[in-house]
Structures are given as structure tokens and as C-alpha cells.
Structure 1
Amino acid sequence: MNQKYQTSESALSPSGRFGRLSYLGWNMLMSFSILIIIGIIAAFSPGLLADPTTMTGSSMLATVLIGIAYIVLLYFSFVFTIRRLHDRNHIGWLSLLILVPGINLVFMLYLIFAKGDDRSNQYGPRRNTKGWEKVLAWIYILIFPLAFLAAIALPAYQDYVTRAQQAQMEIQQTEQNN
């Protein structure tokens, strides 16, 4: 076999390439993993969300563990972004743009929608997307817009409910006064 086209590098290493679906799939896996880890930590440390001035030893340990999980999340975010940039034949240093507010949103959209190089580039051959990466990527593609809409709709609905309750109370007070 031609050694040039064999790819056995680890997906968790910054060397190599990620196509769009691989990038989204690995980000989804990372997000689920971090949510599970933080959920387990929070379940075993119920005082974590309590008053910070009364933190117990377990709450402090939980805070440290969540901090470590965040550092791991940040590291792999950079690794996956670097691999995606390599697919576009760009240097990995551009991944620092995810730290710049405002630009990071446009940059992430670019990484999601820009097509990678079809042929080998200076970062290696095109990497085939595995089946499970495609499944996770499509779940990500479906869940993200729904979560975004929910983040907007739920507070708006809560505001509507609060105003409706206030209006109902005003009507009842007006009827009692008459």
C-alpha cells in the first residue's frame, strides 16, 4: 500500500485533518462527555450551587474537578479546531480566533460550512468520516438550532406568563374594588 494515504493518527491529536462532519461529531461527543462528567460531579456535591462562602470540602473538590473538566474541554476544542483548519490547509494558530469575542462566532460558522480540500495537502491526506461521527454530527446539526430557539423562546414565554398573571391579578383587584 502507498504509505502516503494511510491515516492512523489519533483523532485526539492536533496533527491531521477533520472534515466538517468529523469536526461536528467529535464536538458533540466532547459536549456529551463533559455534560455527563459535570452531572456526576454535581450529583455527588449538592452544595456546589449553594452560597460560595459556606463551601464544604466536597464542594471545593467538585469546583476543582469542574475546573479540570473545563480545561480538558478547552484543550480538545483547540485540537478539533486545529484539525479542521488543517483540512482547509490553514495553520493551526488561527484556532486562537475562538478566543476573540464576536470574531469567534463568524470563525466557527466558517469552520462548519467551509469545504475542506478534496486532495492531500501539507497536513496529510483527506480523512474519511466514520459512521458514528456522521451520526453524532447530524444530531448536533439538529439539536443546536433547537437549543438556540429554546434559549430564546423559554424566557419569552416565561415573561408572557408573568405578565398574564399580573394582568389577571389587576383584573381581580379591580373587580374587588368595584
Structure 2
Amino acid sequence: MSDSRFKIVFDGALLPGVECTTAKLNLAELFKSDVEAIEKLFTGRPVALKRDLSRPDAETYLSALKNAGVDARIEAEQPVAFSLAETHETSSSASDFSHTSASPYAPPRAAVGDDLPEYSSLNVFTIHGRIGRLRYLAWMLVLSVAMLVASGIIATASFAVATASPTLGIILGSLLGFALFIVLTVVSVQIGVQRLHDLGWSGWLYLLNLVPLVNSIFPLLLLVLPGNPGANQYGAPPPRNSTAVKVLASLWLAFIPLMLILVLSLGMNGYLDQLEANVGSSYESSSVTSDDAIDQDVTVDEDDAQSADEAAEPVDSPEQ
């Protein structure tokens, strides 16, 4: 007696939270086909995507399909009847897409378990792929440290050149600084776009960072909002966070409060210095005003005394 065989059946159902368009795009990539051909699988009728599978192979195919966002199922194959009569499936409405068909709309037959990886690949220098919140923080921390190191090297080199030729040092520092700015901008955009892809959003939304007021809230959304748990239109989910990613993200999370405390401390010190300067200015102004008033009082007293002296002098009467 032969082992039991199984088939993969799909009737158009999707996993919770997966949009129909996303599932169709994932299946098109999975089957190496176009979306028009995949549309034929969403008629609502049961479709046998793959037949004559062992139980482990069927589980592999089912896992790949679930990563694509579709809710397929495994069913046992009907035993073959040794009869000259034509055999049929129990459900006459089920269509078989696992055999060669002359229809141009028949979906291709591909090794489903090998085409869609469980996790997406990681690459910093690209706008494709997906990264989660912790990896986004870790990569941004590394980028910030690289920026500080590169800035220090550029400043040192420019200063060394400026000792011999100030004009050449200024030109060299400006060119290297501009090149560093371009590189950092491009890499930060690539990292941000991958984070948006993990949310299922278009990378063009990263331009919201150029909008006033919005750019103060939008980066926080990238840090707070969780990504899609399964595959979306931008690919499979990112790999699990490694220990290095968790450590770097923790350092960045610890660095942010320290920066806030430092900024608040500097702001408070500046406010106190300004307040002290204002109080000192007010005190000096009041002192000057008091001195002027005293001087004026002394002058008035002297004038009064002089007037009194003049009034006290005898006046010679004219001879009669």
C-alpha cells in the first residue's frame, strides 16, 4: 500500500490583515507570473495549486503560500479507482491547475517552497527590502557615528591644509563637507524607505520630512509604529533582530534621553544667565538713575542756597 498523498487547495481566502492586491502581487512574484494570470485564482472556487505531494512537501508549499498572504489548505488526494470508467474528483467545481493546460491563463508551475524566502535579505545601500524599528534605530546610530568620525577627519585634514594655505583649506573642507552631506542624505533616505516598506507604505512618503511641522512628527511614527507581521507588497518580513541590533538600538534609545537632558540643561543655563544679565542691567540702570537724582538734588540745593544768599545781601538805598 502506497503512502498517502496530498494536494494544496486555494479558494481565494486571504490571511487576516492582508489586502487582496498585496496577495496577488506576492503570488505573481511567487509563481513568476503576471497579475492578470493570478486573477484567475481568485474566482471563489477551489483550485488545486499542487498535487501528489507528501505530507512534508505539502507543509513546505503551504508555509510559502501563507508567507505570501493567502489562506490555502492541505487536502488528501482521492484514491485512484482502477476502472475503465473516467474518474472524477468529489467536488466537480474544483479546478486542477497542477497539470499542463492549453489555456494561456493557466498559472505557471513553480517550486513554490524555494521561490519565496521566509525573510527578506538585508542591504543598507538600497531602497528595496524591509527593516523593523530596532534595526532602523541601530542603522541610524551607526550612520550617526560614521558621520561624526568622517566630520572629524575632514576637519583635521582641512585644518592641516589651511596652515599652509588658508584658501585651499577652506575650499577642501567645503568640498569634502558637501560630499559627506550628499552621502549621508542618500543613505538615510535608503534606510528610511526600507522602514516605510516594512509598514506597507510607499517610500515617497519620506518626502514628508521636508514639510514643516509634519517633519517633527513623521520620524516619531517610524520609531513607534510596528511593521506588517507577514509579507506585503514590498517583500517578505525582515529577519529577526540579532543581539548586535538590540544592543545598538538600546544605546540609541539611551542616547536620546541624554541628548534631551543636555539640551534642557543648556537651555536652562542660558535662561538663567540671561535672567541674571537682565537683573544686573536693571540694577545698574536703577543705580545710575539714583545717582542722577542725587546729583540733581544737590544741584537744586546749591541753587536754592545761592538764591537765599543773594536774597540776604543788603540792598543799598539811593540817596534822597
With over 3 angstroms needed to count, the CA separation of the structure-2 counterparts of 1:167 and 1:149, relative to structure 1, is same
The yes-or-no answer on 1:79 pairing with 2:190 is: yes
Q: Larger % of helix: which?
A: 1
Native 8 Å contact 1:17 1:83 kept in 2:
yes
Native 8 Å contact 2:133 2:224 kept in 1:
yes
From 137, 141, 148, the counterpart of 1:24: 137
From 221, 237, 243, the counterpart of 1:131: 243
Please give the per-residue CA displacement for 1:55-93, whole angstroms capped at 9, x wherever unaligned.
521221111111111111111111111101100011111
RMSD: 2.7
- The CA deviation at 1:167 is 6.0
Amino acid at match of 1:129: N
- The CA deviation at 1:6 is 4.6
Amino acid at match of 1:71: I
**Within 1, Cα distance between the matches of 2:122 and 2:194?**
11
SS of the residue corresponding to residue 217 of structure 2 reads: helix
Deviates more, 1:160-169 or 1:86-95: 160-169
Consecutive unaligned residues in structure 2, runs of 5 or more: 1-112, 292-320
**What TM-score, normalized by structure 2, do the two folds share?**
0.47
From 142, 154, 168, the counterpart of 2:254: 142
**What TM-score, normalized by structure 1, do the two folds share?**
0.82
With over 3 angstroms needed to count, the CA separation of the structure-2 counterparts of 1:168 and 1:62, relative to structure 1, is same
Q: Larger % of strand: which?
A: 2
Partner of 2:210 in structure 1? 99
* Higher RCO, Cα 8 Å, sep 6+: 1
Native 8 Å contact 2:198 2:227 kept in 1:
yes
From 160, 164, 169, the counterpart of 2:272: 160
**Within 2, Cα distance between the matches of 1:158 and 1:25?**
33
Consecutive unaligned residues in structure 1, runs of 5 or more: 49-53
- The CA deviation at 1:131 is 2.3
SS of the residue corresponding to residue 23 of structure 1 reads: helix
Native 8 Å contact 1:47 1:59 kept in 2:
no
Identity of aligned residues (%): 30
Amino acid at match of 2:203: G
**Within 1, Cα distance between the matches of 2:121 and 2:226?**
22
Native 8 Å contact 1:47 1:56 kept in 2:
no
Native 8 Å contact 1:24 1:136 kept in 2:
yes
Q: Which has the larger radius of gyration?
A: 2
Native 8 Å contact 2:121 2:129 kept in 1:
no
